[in-house]
């Protein structure tokens, strides 16, 4: 009987040089995190589904879409799910223990995550992630600490042209509320994120400017609080571009239009957006291959009954190593 070497769609095995390069990169990044006083946590690959039900929607604007989870029933009749992300699992395990822990906490993790995604060239269902979380730093300090560490790991681990886009949750709420006038925002939000000038042109000039340039010409169009936050973020971006000349950074509010804070704009059955502060994503090469991202997510802990500031990120080691376009290769 001939045994096939084929693997399920979207998963991979690494051999020889690929495995060696994977471990070398992982060891380098972990060493950098340890030097930054981050401590490792090891989390299970399977968990009960029930604790995460309140975070799930039918869209990807929250933590993860319901249809992306691999779910199954064990022999005791419990509904379980394979790990689709580290942060929600870490949050649910830490939330009841925070009172006995000394803050701030700097934690990191590594391992596989699995999400069901439709077949498409280069799309992965299993990815190996390395990520970190900063808990308990006040104000925007935790955001800055997480972003700084994210950029440091990118600078160490990535050799292609890299760019990072930044924004913040709720930045476009005022513009989107004016444009939708109480109607379902889903189509408009999607159009803004796809940079559809024709759709934006049918509303107000500031929204078109965001689609074309990432920010409006007049920040006051966003409202006073958002305008002040944008100014601080622009200053941060300028500082970090100087500190990390090998990484191109820019502010792009259109990229995060789905991270709305206004209840009228929240997608997916009215659940709050995953992030509630700074949001950032990294891409590599001319094809803008996603490498990872993160941001601030205090609301996740609040939904779990804990009050703590929380920011974090994850990076795909597969993408950093360039395995994303060849994920079904199994031959040594």
User: Model's pTM, two decimal places?
Assistant: 0.92
Number of domains the chain contains: 2
Range of the domain at 327: 1-162+307-332
Examine the domain organization and report whether 194 and 147 are in the same domain.
Answer: no
- The DSSP bridge pattern shows strands 71-73 and 162-168 to be unpaired
294 in a domain, yes or no?
no
Query: Which of 227, 259, 274 represents a domain boundary (last residue)?
Result: 274
298 in a domain, yes or no?
no
Query: Which of 228, 257, 274 represents a domain boundary (last residue)?
Result: 274
Written as tens digits, the pLDDT of the chain (332 aa) is 688 888 888 888 999 999 999 999 999 999 999 999 999 999 999 999 998 887 776 554 445 778 889 999 999 999 999 999 999 999 999 999 999 999 999 999 999 999 987 765 556 889 999 999 999 999 899 999 999 999 999 999 877 889 999 999 999 999 999 998 878 888 899 999 999 998 888 888 999 999 999 999 999 999 999 999 999 999 999 999 999 999 999 999 999 999 999 988 865 544 567 899 999 999 998 889 999 999 999 999 998 899 999 999 999 999 999 854 443 443 33
Examine the domain organization and report whether 5 and 80 are in the same domain.
Answer: yes
Give the Cβ contact number of residue 191 at 10 Å.
20
Examine the domain organization and report whether 220 and 103 are in the same domain.
Answer: no
262 contacts: CB under 8 Å, gap ≥ 6 = 170, 173, 176, 177
């Amino acid at each position: 009987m001939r045994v096939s070497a084929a693997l399920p769609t979207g998963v991979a095995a690494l051999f020889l040089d690929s495995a060696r390069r994977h471990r070398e990169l992982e060891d380098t990044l972990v060493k950098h995190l340890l030097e930054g006083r981050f401590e490792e946590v090891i989390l299970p690959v399977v968990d009960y589904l029930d604790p995460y039900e309140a975070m799930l929607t039918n869209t990807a604007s929250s933590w993860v879409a319901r249809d992306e989870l691999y779910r199954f029933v064990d022999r005791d009749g419990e509904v379980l799910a394979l790990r689709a992300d580290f942060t929600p699992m870490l949050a649910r395990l830490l939330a009841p223990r925070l009172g006995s822990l000394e803050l701030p906490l700097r934690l990191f993790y590594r391992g596989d995550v699995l999400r069901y995604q439709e077949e498409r060239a280069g799309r992965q269902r299993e990815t190996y992630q390395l990520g970190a979380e900063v808990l308990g730093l006040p104000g925007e300090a935790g955001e800055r600490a997480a972003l700084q560490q994210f950029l440091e790991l990118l600078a160490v681990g990535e050799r292609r042209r890299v760019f990072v886009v930044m924004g913040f949750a709720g930045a476009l709420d005022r513009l989107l509320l004016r444009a939708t006038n109480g109607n379902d925002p889903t189509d408009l939000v999607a159009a803004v994120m796809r940079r559809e000038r024709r759709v934006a042109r049918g509303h107000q000039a500031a929204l078109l400017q965001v689609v074309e340039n990432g920010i409006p010409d007049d920040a006051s169009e966003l409202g006073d609080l958002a305008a002040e936050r944008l100014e601080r973020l622009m200053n941060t971006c300028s500082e970090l571009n100087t500190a990390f000349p090998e990484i191109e950074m820019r502010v792009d509010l259109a990229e995060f239009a789905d991270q709305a804070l206004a209840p009228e704009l929240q997608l997916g059955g009215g659940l709050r957006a995953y992030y509630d502060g700074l949001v950032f994503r990294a891409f590599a090469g001319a094809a803008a291959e996603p490498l990872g991202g993160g941001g601030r997510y205090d609301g996740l802990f609040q939904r779990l009954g804990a009050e703590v500031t929380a920011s974090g990120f994850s990076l795909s080691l597969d993408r950093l190593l360039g395995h994303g376009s060849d994920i079904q290769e199994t031959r040594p």
